[in-house]
Amino acid sequence: MPAQARVWVYQADRPLTEAEKSVIQTQAEDFLQTWTAHQQTLKASYSIFYDRFLVIALDEDYQQASGCSIDASVHFLQKIEQELKLSLLDRSQVAFWEGEAIRTEKLAHLKQKIAEGVIQADTQVFVNTISNVEQLHNDWQKPARQTWLSRYF
């Protein structure tokens, strides 16, 4: 995908098993092959990162997404959530590295976790609001002090 291709990052509320990743891969391939906007095929791809994140990329230079196509992608994700009994659409948790593992905390608990030292200024935090492939490569993971969490340090 080109650097300016649009991305959506979906964070699982727990690590994915190999079997779950296989299900997601099969269903994502099927969905993306038939994903359209105004009856025009979309040029899209996906990746699973760190057994925790499903990232969908769309080359909008080829064809832009529409409201209906975005709704279709949400329905696709909801289907996966129901089938695998996990959450991909919950934006109330922040993911960060804790040693070699990715940990999530609810937004409401972040200030407390910072005060306790669980999250420090240099803790790598996932910024899932990125919007394109270039940001995925360069800005997806940042030290907490360089994110909106900086106000708590």
Instruction: Give the mean pLDDT of 5-23.
Output: 97
Query: What confidence tier does 141 reach under pLDDT thresholds 50, 70, 90?
Result: very high
C-beta separation of 120 from 145 below 8 A: no
Residue pointed to by tokens 């080829």: 62
Q: Residue 43: enclosing H or E segment and its boundaries?
A: none
Closest by CA position to 120, among listed 140, 99, 138 = 99
Residue type, 97: W
Residues 50, 126: Cα–Cα separation, whole Å: 11
Provide the whole-model pTM.
Answer: 0.93
pLDDT digits (tens, 9 = 90+) for 41-65: 999 999 999 999 999 999 998 888 8
Considering the chain, what is the average pLDDT of its residues?
A: 96
Residues 1, 65: Cα–Cα separation, whole Å: 15
